[in-house]
Amino acid sequence: MASAHADWWKGSVTYQIYPRSYQDSNHDGIGDLNGITARLPYLADLGIEAIWLSPIFTSPMADMGYDVSDYTDIDPSFGTLADFDAMVSRAHDLGLKVIIDQVLSHSSDQHPFFQQSRMSRDNDKADWYVWADPQHDGSPPNNWQAIFGGCAWQWEPRRQQYYLHNFLKEQPDFNFHNEAVQEWLLGTMRFWLERGVDGFRLDTVNFYFHDALLRSDPPDYRKKDKPEWNPYYMQYHLFSKNQPENLPFLQKMRALLDEFDARTLVGEVGESHHAVEMMGEYTTGHRLHMAYSFEMLGFNYSAAHFRGQIETFFSKAPDGWPCWAFSNHDVVRHVSRWMPHAVSQDALAKQAGALLLSLQGSICLYQGEEVGQTETALEYSELTDPQGLTFWPEDKGRDGCRTPMAWEQAAANAGFSDARPWLPVKAPQALRSVDTQLDVDGSVLEFYRRMLRLRREHESLRTGDTVFQTTDEPILSFVRGGEFLCVFNLSADPHQLDCAGEAILLGEGATLDNGSVQLSGNGFAILRL
Q: What is the pLDDT of residues 432-475, one digit of tens each?
A: 999 999 999 999 999 999 999 999 999 999 999 999 999 999 99
| Amino acid in position 430 | A
SS3 at position 440 = coil
454 belongs to a structural domain: no
Q: How confident is the model at residue 126 (pLDDT cuts 50, 70, 90)?
A: very high
Of 157, 173, 189, which residue is a domain's last? 173
Could you tell me if residue 507 is inside a domain?
yes
Bridging pattern class, strands 161-164 and 153-156: antiparallel
Catalytic residue, from 203, 346, 369, 399: name it.
Answer: 203
Q: How many structural domains compose the chain?
A: 2
Domain end residue (candidates: 173, 204, 229): 173
Q: How far apart are CA 375 and CA 383, in angstroms?
A: 14
Dist. CA 200–CA 53, nearest whole Å? 9
Determine phi and psi for 324, rounding to 5 degrees. Answer: -100, 145
Q: Name the least confident of 36-45, 219-228, 442-451, 484-493.
A: 219-228
- Closest alpha carbon to 296 in 327, 335, 329, 330: 327
Whether residue 2 is predicted with pLDDT greater than 50 in this model: the reply is no
What value does the mean pLDDT take over residues 115-143?
98
pLDDT at 508: 87
**Catalytic residue from among 93, 133, 259, 418:** 259
In a domain, 375, yes or no: no
Neighbours of 93 (CB within 10 A): 10
Peptide bond into 404 cis (omega under 30): no
**Rounded distance between C-alpha atoms, residue 274 and residue 451, angstroms:** 31
Note whether 178 and 128 are within 8 A (CB): yes
Higher-pLDDT residue of 318, 223: 318
pLDDT of residue 509: 86
Residue 485 sits in a domain of what CATH number? 2.60.40.1180
Pairing of strands 50-53, 13-17: parallel
132 found inside a domain:
yes
Residue 25: count other Cβ atoms within 10 Å of its Cβ: 18
Residue 134 DSSP label? P
- Tell me what pLDDT residue 4 has: 59
Q: What is the reported pLDDT for 3?
A: 45
Give the residues across from 32 on adjacent strands. Answer: none
Whether residue 48 lies inside any domain: the answer is no
User: What is the domain extent for residue 125?
Assistant: 108-173
Local structure of 13: helix, strand or coil:
strand
Give the angle subtended at the CA of 385 by the CAs of 232 and 300, to the nearest 5°: 60
Taking residues 335-362, report their average pLDDT.
Answer: 98
Is 124 within a domain?
Answer: yes
Residue 249 backbone phi and psi in degrees, to 5: -70, -35
Residue that finishes a domain, picked among 173, 194, 213: 173
Contacts of 27 (CB under 8 A, 6+ apart): 417, 418, 419
CA distances from 241 to 208, 471, 501 (A): 7, 38, 48
Q: Identify whether 228 is a catalytic site residue.
A: no
Q: How many CB atoms lie within 10 A of CB 282?
A: 24
pLDDT category at 345 given cuts 50, 70, 90 is very high
- Determine contact, residues 153/72, Cβ cutoff 8 Å: no
CA-CA distance, 463 to 460, in Å (whole number)? 6
Q: How confident is the model at residue 292 (pLDDT cuts 50, 70, 90)?
A: very high
**Whether the bond into 474 is cis, omega within 30 of 0:** yes
Cα–Cα distance between 54 and 18 in angstroms, integer? 5
Residue 385 lies in a domain: no
CATH code, 158: 3.90.400.10
**What are the two backbone dihedrals, phi and then psi, of residue 179, each rounded to the nearest 5 degrees?**
-60, -30
DSSP 455: H
Find out whether 55 and 63 touch, Cβ atoms under 8 Å: no
Confidence of residue 523 (pLDDT cuts 50, 70, 90): very high
3-state secondary structure of 354: helix
- CA dihedral (26, 30, 35, 37) positive or negative: negative
Whether residue 259 lies in the annotated active site: yes
Q: What pLDDT does 223 receive?
A: 81
Question: Which pLDDT score is estimated for 1?
Answer: 38
C-beta of residue 45 within 8 angstroms of C-beta of residue 81: no
Residues 90, 373: Cα–Cα separation, whole Å: 27
* Integer angstrom CA distances of residue 497 from 334, 459, 471, 489, 500: 26, 26, 9, 10, 10
Task: Give a yes or no: residue 127 inside a domain.
Answer: yes
pLDDT value, residue 500: 84
User: What are the phi and psi torsion angles at 266 (to 5°)?
Assistant: -125, 125
CA distance 230 to 420: 33
In whole numbers, what is the pLDDT of the chain averaged over residues?
Answer: 97
pLDDT at 95 over 70: yes
pTM of full prediction above 0.95: yes
- The answer to whether 269 and 291 have CB atoms below 8 angstroms apart is yes
Q: Which of 442, 453, 415 is nearest to 507 (CA)?
A: 442
Q: Which helix (H) or strand (E) holds 140?
A: none
Radius of gyration of the chain, Cα coordinates, nearest whole angstrom: 23
Distances in whole angstroms, Cα of residue 517 to Cα of each of 304, 413, 486, 496: 21, 43, 11, 6
Q: Are 408 and 414 in contact (CB under 8 A)?
A: yes
